[in-house]
Structure 1
Amino acid sequence: MSNIRRITHETEAIEVARQVAEEIAAIAADPRNNGQLPRRQAELLSSSGLTAIGVPAALGGLGASVATLVETVRLISVADGGVGQLLQIHNVMLRGVVSGYPDEVRDRLVADLLAGKRLGNALAEVGGKNKFALKTRVERRADGKLVLNGSKFYSTGAYLAEWISLTAASDDGGVGVLLQRDTPGLTLIDDWDAFGQQNSVSGTVNFEDIVLDERYLSRRNGPMKPTGLTFPQILHAAIDTGIAAGALQAATAYLREHARAWVESGVERASDEPHVIRQIGEYAVALRGAESVLRDAARVFDEHERDPENKALQDELILSVATARAHADSASLNIASDLFSLLGASASLSKWNLDRFWRNARVHTTHDPIRWRLHNVGNYYLNGADPGEYTAILNAKEAQGATRR
């Protein structure tokens, strides 16, 4: 890919995200684009330079703060939650590949990222008792070579990515593997057919007798840190907060331009109805609350990055991100589904494509049940439980399942 913009300032990154979001929003609004692969949208993310801002400054990138990464994902998600998720998973995978592999592998990856290449994931599987009961395995053959076999689903972004980051079981425990999309034996399948988040292209990836270059394997040194899941989770919160904002923008535009006032209201325009005004106010308050706690969580995250061993900051980060997730979950589902009560029956016509916000919110918010984040927060306040209990449970589950056949 040529003509990749090199973003040099964090304020520039946010402005670029706003500009790219406008183009993506125009594509998302047209129902004729529903169900189409988001190739153009993914290219916009890359050519704009947004996919490279997470590369550390020491390696030639911007080294953007978490606050900036969160804001760019949020802005793209205002336009299209599925495309926001492409950027979310790319940033999550990027943090792993620049720190978990040999320098020569890292440098090759970084060069590709700076050239606009994207990362996808292949972590989850279907059919097992839980997500750590992995059937995908790395095994050593009689000739000494390592071979990968298995299948993954919910492989966000993988179908359109240059590099696939995956997890597999082995006799020595769980391993991370990096594969280039043209690797022999790797098959990417466009079979993501959910009613929402269609543009996350989270379908199937198959691995058949792939002979691995051991330099592209990563083994975790010890259990996951208590804050190990906060980065993907804060970006998930950014997606849902963005969806909520997109829904509110679409609702207010429709009310001003297309909706008719109810016959009992005594006003000429729907936008002058007192009940409508009050309800839009409630939506806006919910959205502003979600945006505020998201920004606060990002601020805490950047403080934690500067002092990662500070236990108080670790706890505050986990609680702040859980809070952001809860507010984003509620705002996106409420605004995106309830807006039709104000807009009227005509707003449900397919030509307006207004249901895309609810479809995206409803699918995306199933990824990590908010009831368990609320449990973790409640258990901390009520019983003094360590906020990192979620990670501790996952570490135990992973240890049980990482070598299971």
Structure 2
Amino acid sequence: MSTPPRRLESAAQAIAAAHEIAGQIAELARDRHNNRQLPRRQAQLLSDSGLTAIGVPAQFGGLGASVQTIVETVRIVSAADGGVGQLLQIHNVMLRGVLSGYPDEVRERLIADLLAGKRLGNALAEVGGKNKFALKTRIERREDGKLVLNGSKFYSTGSYLAEWISLTAASDDGGAGVLLHRDTPGLTLLDDWDAFGQNNSVSGTVQFDNIELDERYVLRRQGPMKRTGLTFPQILHAAIDTGIAAGALQAGIDYLNQHARPWVESEVERASEEPHIIRQIGEYAVALRAAESLLRDAARTFDAHELAPDDKALQDELILSVATARAHSDAASLKISSDIFSLLGASASLSKWNLDRFWRNARVHTTHDPIRWRLHHVGNYYLNGIDPGEYTAILAARQSAGASR
């Protein structure tokens, strides 16, 4: 009989649990032989720690953790392994989406599974269409009245190891959300994620072959998309990149203290005493501290927004602060994880150290959502007074106005 997951009862316990498992996840990440293995052990650590249940509202038996707490746990885990941090990120994003709108019996089953440590994955994006919202996955109603799902998704983060998969599909009645249990007949999960980074996000293919749907698990889209609807996944993406930056800096510092040799002109005994290295580490640390501060500021703004969701000024500030955190976390993760090799020496590039994992994870993860468009919205707000937005709501508004197809 498996041991039930830990029940976390405070933000402090959640943060402590994240630090505890991050140490074990980092140990696994340091071994390059784990790079091409499914992160079953890492995913189980997330569940056993209780972290996957902290987003369940208190009235349903969970911690009801604040955005600040969830962001911090994702950041801590991502410092150990950005791919595992993304498993936790997408789980929390899907969790917020599935606990409203579905019938009570569906919600109760989901909550029971979440409190038991079960995880959620996503199947949202597709490849081959005009853009990420051009969905070929469809729900059709057969002559016998049954709803049937067919199609395929890629970038399905976490789904291969998840109990429940949350997906989107098109239909004659508009877009819909669907929840599928991993044992659903006609559902195929493929372990085909083969990128040079973020391997442990297991973001491969999910296929749907004439799946007969239980209509209780189908949620029709109602009303316009929330203007701030993407800020939660966005802030958690910033937490991943900030964590990767922190992990890269610490790994570099450890190498400098334990393995690096001083340059011959330096006239010092240790690489860590070299003045140019000290200054450069200071520059990296400043970049990291700025990203961490901006991430915390955005999380505080998010929690304030949760208390007053219709406050237009708070909506603006939330979108701007999350965009700012994303821009700085993007830059810090890429700069530190790549440039730090200039301080470590040629031996640091040897595969046995596996130090390139931070850059590989940062480079792959930061392609997720173009920073150039986050900067565009910030610039347009300051220069032209245009309300900042997130692309789901913007595109939906254009489509409803007939401006795009």
Is the alpha carbon distance of 1:166 and 1:251 closer, same or farther for their aligned partners in structure 2, counting shifts above 3 Å? same
Which residue in 1 is equivalent to 2:194? 193
Shift of the alpha carbon at 1:390?
A: 3.4
Show the counterpart of 2:379: 378
Letter in 1 for 2:170: A
Write the distance in 1 (CA, Å) between the matches of 2:393 and 2:229.
10
What TM-score results when the alignment is normalised by the length of structure 2? 0.98
Provide the C-alpha distance between the structure 2 equivalents of 1:339 and 1:286, rounded to a whole number of angstroms: 13
Cα distance in 2 for partners of 1:119, 1:337 equals 32
Find the counterpart in structure 2 of residue 31 from structure 1. Answer: 32
Map 1:10-159; keep pairs closer than 5 Å: 10-159=11-160
SS in 2 for 1:194: coil
Offset of residue 378 of structure 1: 0.3
Contact 1:376–1:390 (Cα < 8 Å) also in 2:
no
> For 1:139, what is the secondary structure of its paired residue?
strand
| Distance of aligned partners of 1:389 and 1:188 in 2 relative to their CA distance in 1, 3 Å threshold | closer
- Determine the structure 2 residue equivalent to 1:172: 173
Cα distance in 2, alignment partners of residues 184 and 2 from structure 1:
29
Deviations 1:304-346 (A, max 9, x none): 0011111110100000000000000000000000010000000
* Structure 2 unaligned spans of 5+: none
1:187–1:206 contact (8 Å) kept in structure 2? yes
* Cα distance in 1 for residues equivalent to 2:223 and 2:396: 10
Q: Distance in 2 between matches of 1:399 and 1:15?
A: 46
Contact kept? 1:132, 1:398, Cα under 8 Å: no
Asked if the contact 1:173/1:399 (under 8 Å) is kept, the reply is no
- Contact 2:123/2:206 (8 A) holds in 1: yes
The one-letter code of the counterpart of 2:300 is R
* Distance in 1 (alpha carbons) for counterparts of 2:352 and 2:399: 46
Match in the other structure for 1:308:
309
The answer as to whether partners of 2:71 and 2:236 remain within 8 angstroms in 1 is yes
- Count of residues in Structure 1 that have an aligned counterpart in Structure 2: 402
Which amino acid letter does the alignment assign opposite residue 369 of structure 2? Answer: D
Q: Is the CA contact 1:227–1:391 (under 8 Å) kept in the aligned structure 2?
A: no
Question: How much does 1:392 deviate?
Answer: 3.5
Q: 1:10-43 CA deviation, whole Å, 9 max, x = no partner?
A: 1100000000100000000111111110000000
Structure 2 CA distance for aligned equivalents of residues 394 and 41 of structure 1? 36
Give CA deviations for 1:235-291 in whole Å, capped at 9, x if unaligned: 000000000000000000000000000001111111000000000000000000000
Letter of the 2:110 counterpart = L
Higher RCO (C-alpha under 8 Å, 6+ residues apart)? 1
Q: Retained in 1: the 8 A contact 2:230–2:390?
A: no
Tell me which residue corresponds to 2:247. Answer: 246
CA distance in 1, matches of 2:224, 2:101: 14
Q: Is the 8 A contact 1:53 1:63 kept in 2?
A: yes
Unpaired runs of 5+ residues, structure 1, are: none
Is the 1:148–1:212 Cα contact (8 Å) retained in structure 2? yes
The Cα of 1:399 is off from its aligned counterpart by 6.0
Following superposition, the deviation at residue 389 of structure 1 comes to 6.0
Displacement after TM superposition at 1:146 (Å): 0.2
Q: What letter is aligned with 2:14?
A: A
TM-score normalised to structure 1 length: 0.98
Distance 1:285 1:201, change over 3 A: same
Q: Deviations over 1:159-203 (max 9, x none)?
A: 000000000000000000000000000000000000000000000
Counterpart mapping for 1:255-334 below 5 A = 255-334=256-335
Change (3 A) 1:77 1:20: same
| Structure 2 SS opposite 1:126 | coil
In structure 2, relative to structure 1, the CA distance for the partners of 1:89 and 1:397 (3 Å cut) is: farther
Q: CA–CA distance in 2 between the matches of 1:154 and 1:82?
A: 13
> Percent identity over the alignment?
80
Alignment correspondent of 1:211: 212
Change (3 A) 1:296 1:394: same
User: How many Å separate the matches in 2 of 1:175 and 1:127?
Assistant: 20
> Contact (CA 8 Å) 1:297, 1:321: kept in 2 or not?
yes
Following the alignment from structure 1 to structure 2, what is the Cα–Cα distance between the partners of residues 225 and 128?
A: 24
Q: Deviations over 1:56-82 (max 9, x none)?
A: 001110000000000000000000000
2:342 is aligned with 1:341: yes
Paired with 1:399 and 1:134, the residues of 2 have a C-alpha distance of 17
Cα shift at 1:102: 1.1
1:351 matched residue in structure 2 = 352
Partners of 2:399 and 2:370 in 1: CA distance? 18
CA contact (8 A) 1:132 1:397 kept: no
SS in 2 for 1:279: helix
Shift of 1:393: 2.4
1:389 and 1:110 map into 2 onto residues whose CA distance is: 29
Hey, what does 2:394 align to over in structure 1? 393
Cα distance in 2, alignment partners of residues 3 and 209 from structure 1: 35
User: Compared with structure 1, are the counterparts of its residues 201 and 374 closer, same or farther at alpha carbon in structure 2 (3 Å cutoff)?
Assistant: same
